[in-house]
Amino acid sequence: MQRGMARTTGSHSQTTGPRVRAVAEHLFAKHGFAAVSMRQIAAEVGVQAGALYNYTPDKQTLLFSLMHDHMVELIAAWDATATMSTPTASVAAFTRFHIAYHLARRDAVFIAYMELRNLSPENFAVIEGLRKAYEQRLEQIIRDGVAQGVFVVADTRIATLAIIGMLTEVTTWFRDGGRLDVDGVADLYVAMVGRVLGIGEDRRSVS
For the chain, domains (ranges, CATH) are 1-56 (1.10.10), 58-205 (1.10.357.10)
Q: Tens of pLDDT along 176-198?
A: 998 999 999 999 999 999 999 99
Q: Which of 103, 107, 105, 102 is nearest to 32 (CA)?
A: 107
**Is residue 9 very low, low, confident or very high in pLDDT (cuts 50, 70, 90)?**
very low
Cβ pair 123, 64 in contact under 8 A: yes
Report the predicted TM-score, pTM, of the whole model to 2 decimal places.
0.85
> Which of 4-8, 122-126, 183-187 comes out lowest in average pLDDT?
4-8
Q: Measure the CA–CA gap between 40 and 158, rounded to whole angstroms.
A: 41
Give the pLDDT confidence score for residue 12 in this predicted structure. 53
What's the length of the chain? 207
Give the pLDDT confidence score for residue 23 in this predicted structure. 95
Of all residues in the chain, what percent are helix, strand and coil, respectively (each to 5)? 80, 0, 20
pLDDT for residue 17 is more than 50:
yes
Give the pLDDT confidence score for residue 92 in this predicted structure. 97
Q: Say whether 197 sits in a helix, a strand or coil.
A: coil
Contacts of 56 (CB under 8 A, 6+ apart): 20, 62, 65
**Is residue 207 very low, low, confident or very high in pLDDT (cuts 50, 70, 90)?**
very low
Q: Measure the CA–CA gap between 72 and 74, rounded to whole angstroms.
A: 5
Q: Tens of pLDDT along 31-75?
A: 999 999 999 999 999 988 888 888 889 999 999 999 999 999 999
Cβ pair 90, 3 in contact under 8 A: no
Q: Measure the CA–CA gap between 117 and 91, rounded to whole angstroms.
A: 30
Cβ pair 13, 54 in contact under 8 A: yes
Measured in whole angstroms, how far is the alpha carbon of residue 131 from the centre of its chain? Answer: 9
Q: Measure the CA–CA gap between 150 and 13, rounded to whole angstroms.
A: 52
Mean pLDDT of the chain: 89
Region 98-108 average pLDDT:
96
Query: Position 125: which residue type?
Result: A
Give the pLDDT confidence score for residue 71 in this predicted structure. 97
3-state secondary structure 120-152: CHHHHHHHHHHHHHHHHHHHHHHHHHHHCCCCC
